[in-house]
Structures are given as C-alpha cells and as structure tokens.
Homo-oligomer: A and B are copies of this chain.
C-alpha cells in the first residue's frame, strides 16, 4: 500500500510525508485525545517509522501545534467559502443558520478536534495565535455581510450553538436557529 510515489521509488524521498504525518496526528487526536497522542501511535497511523517523528518535528508539542494550525486553517477556509457564496443578506443569514446547526464540514470528528484544541490552547498561551488567526478570518467573513456588532454576536451564537448541538441530543432545531439569527441581525 502507498507505493505509488511520484518518482517510482518504494520509500525514501516522499515529500508528502510531513503532511501525511500531520493528517495522521489529527486522526489520532480525534480518537484518543491529546492525552492519548504519542509519537508511536501517530507513526503507526501515518505508516512511517518512529524515527520520522523526531526527524520532521522538533517535539511532540511541535507536532500537535502544527496539526492544530492546519485544522483551523482548513475550517476557516470552508467557513469563508460558505459566506463568500452568499450574495444577499437573506442568503448570508441562511448561511449562519447552516453553520449553527449541522454544518456539512462540522462532523463529529472535527468538533471533537476543536474541543481538544480549545483545551490545549487554554493551557498554552504561546499558541494562542492559532486561535486569533482563525477568529480574525471568521470575523472577516461575517463582516462582509453584517455590522461589526452583529458579527460579534453571530460569531458567539455560532460558537455556542455548535457546541450545544454537539453535546446534547436534539439541540437547536433549524427553525429556532432561523429565528435567533433574525433577532440578532435586526
């Protein structure tokens, strides 16, 4: 498996290795949590030797940080795309409702990863830039359609609704979300 490299080689010189390790790291974090993420488990998931871990990444924390950075960039990109598509104010409001309850990209796996990220960031102030970068992108996307004040409130309600929908059964029905967004964006 995975023997179809670009240069015909069976191993050795695989420029996608680092990216694949990062991908595998997210997979391991999603299943085992940060607390269960080890060099060996990630290496197995990415199908690379253990030595590759310390070769490509300075430390385990470095690896986790890079993985989280990729996660936020991906999500921010999807988020931005969802709002770039909206043309009218009505469509923008509907996009907020989409994101609030059952976004296409907000799978259970991703939500788990986000919560792991939050907990991780809370204890490591030096990687808070990952969050602020993400936040800035989200805010920017929202402010293309709403005033700064409204954008702030929508950002918060998206955060809260997403978490509640994930944590509790039923959560917030789509109709209720629509009413909330209407109130907030008035």
Contacts and interface: CB of A to CB of B under 8 A. Distances in A.
Q: Size range of the interface on A?
A: 35 or more
Nearest to A163: B159
Contact of A164 (B37, B115, B120, B159): B159
Interface string A1-35: 00000000000000000000000000000011111
Interface string A141-174: 0000000010011011111110110111000100
A53 interface: no
Nearest to A136: B168
Contact of A34 (B35, B135, B180): B35
Contact of A157 (B32, B131, B160, B167): B160
- The copy count of this chain in the complex is 2
A180 B160 CA distance: 14
A131 B183 contact: no
Contacts of A50: none
Nearest to A108: B122
A177 to B, nearest CB: 9
Given A135-B167, A153-B172, 13 more contacts: A34-B34, A35-B35, A115-B115, A116-B122, A121-B167, A132-B168, A156-B160, A156-B161, A157-B160, A159-B160, A159-B163, A159-B164, A160-B163
28 contacts: A31-B123, A33-B35, A33-B120, A34-B34, A35-B35, A111-B122, A112-B119, A115-B115, A115-B122, A116-B119, A116-B122, A118-B118, A118-B163, A118-B167, A122-B166, A128-B167, A131-B167, A135-B168, A149-B179, A152-B172, A153-B157, A156-B164, A156-B180, A159-B160, A159-B163, A160-B160, A180-B184, A183-B186
